[in-house]
Structure 1
Amino acid sequence: MKFNRIAFVATDVPEAQEALKLLTERYGNAAPADADVIVALGGDGLMLQTLHKHMHRGIPIYGMNRGSVGFLMNEYRESDLPLRLEAADIVRLHPLRMNATLANGSEHHALAINEVSLLRETAQAAKIRIFIDDKLRMEELSCDGVLVATPAGSTAYNLSAQGPIIPIDAALLALTPISAFRPRRWRGALLSHRAKVRFEILEPDKRPVSAVADHREFRDVVEVHVEEDPAIDLLMMFDQGHSLDERILTEQFLH
């Protein structure tokens, strides 16, 4: 595939701004609305922001690491960018859709590329009831929180919470507790990507909980629904031999 019109976006850090200047001088810089591809210069945070901003356009996004982590990014190089883009593998992902009901009765919706997290707001442990496809699976989880992660997000917060790393094409979601107190030995579950997850907050006045879709937070929730949205395609590009599949596999053998 030819990418003749490249749009560059960058974070404010000096390394990213310098890269933006050099690449713009070399390849031009199309407006994102007119571009064939968007090249994000920064770290994973910028990649997520760019995917969110252009979520409904179906435009491929190629990241080059000018940040700190860069798990979702490719190696930074100024040369041969059009050839790299033509040869890149394109990964198609779908975000999670979160519907949250607050204690005041209002309803809110958000999309998440990495994960939807429920988190306790106070020193009191959260108590959460879990339904999968309208079937009660856990009467009461006492915890700091619980999250549902996509394969792309399985190496982010989910991994820090001791959740499983999921291959990008596995058609699975991770349901992972955060510092579970009861049941103490529960480590979470792997769910079909078609699963519909519902959380009910127990004792919400005494044990308030917030719901976070990537970086968008709603406080004092009483019920949260989470499921994949197959109608939205997210297109991420990776250099051949350095695909997200390969990075996820490599991550599982690190000590």
Structure 2
Amino acid sequence: MKVPAAEPVAPSPLPTPTPSEAAPTPAATQQIQPHFTLTGPITQGGALLGTAPEGTTFLTFDGESIPVAPDGRFLIAFDRDAGDSATLVARLRDGREIRKELTVSPRAWRIERIDSLRPRSQVSDAWRRRRAGEIEQIVAARAMQTGAEGWRQDFLWPVTGRISGLFGAQRVYGGEPASYHSGIDIARPSGTPVLAPADGVVILAAEQPFSLEGHLLMLDHGMGLNSAFLHLSRIDVKVGEHIRRGQRVGAIGQSGSATGPHLHWSLKWNDARIDPLLIAGPMPAAQ
């Protein structure tokens, strides 16, 4: 059976696009601004993971140069006594600068005011010389660049238990403030295993107890972030060893200046001391 040919139909004219439907012009495309992405609390003692704007060649944080990973990721943190604002500036390969102003929220620290004057301890010249050497080792360790990638990870608690000392707590004697507590204390029996909170490289492992810290272990997590574990009874790793998150690195003790067995865990990013509680999250139930 022969199918009759269809009659030709004139094509309908295409509708003229409205301005909102029109394809974007090159000028409109150029108006899209690159931006920062940030994750974490913008507060005293907090740390942020960020991604720099696409095309960033140089990044500063309050005027200081900040390293940026090949994928654009970076880390910044705020000291316990950080001011109320901070500025990120990214310089792009086309010469533009992208600025981001950060409002840093204050924290209410635990302050204990004591009417009497601060007790003074008598120390010998020999102790001062010993202490100076210990501080030199700590400063040299923190200056090491290992390329560790633990800064990208979710941190876990190196040990679980009762928190017996909070980061930032401070005593004021007769109006004179003493040094604030630079880490967090977790009370557990001597011998309790201590785990690495994130990947890292051992940058200090004090075989001989330091005068204050006792057996001190330090891990570099990369990008200027490092952990310190104080008062250990034992250190199970060596300087230069690459450590995995959750790996056993030592055991709780009360070496150095400690009145009982506990772990003092402190975190530092460059010169900023930061709160482990904000990095690892709420303390889980003790295992």
- Superposition TM-score tier, normalisation by shorter sequence: under 0.3
TM-score normalized with structure 1 length? 0.25
Task: Select the structure of larger CA radius of gyration.
Answer: 2
Structure with higher helix content: 1
> Which one has more relative contact order, counting CA pairs under 8 Å at least 6 apart?
1
Structure with higher strand content: 1
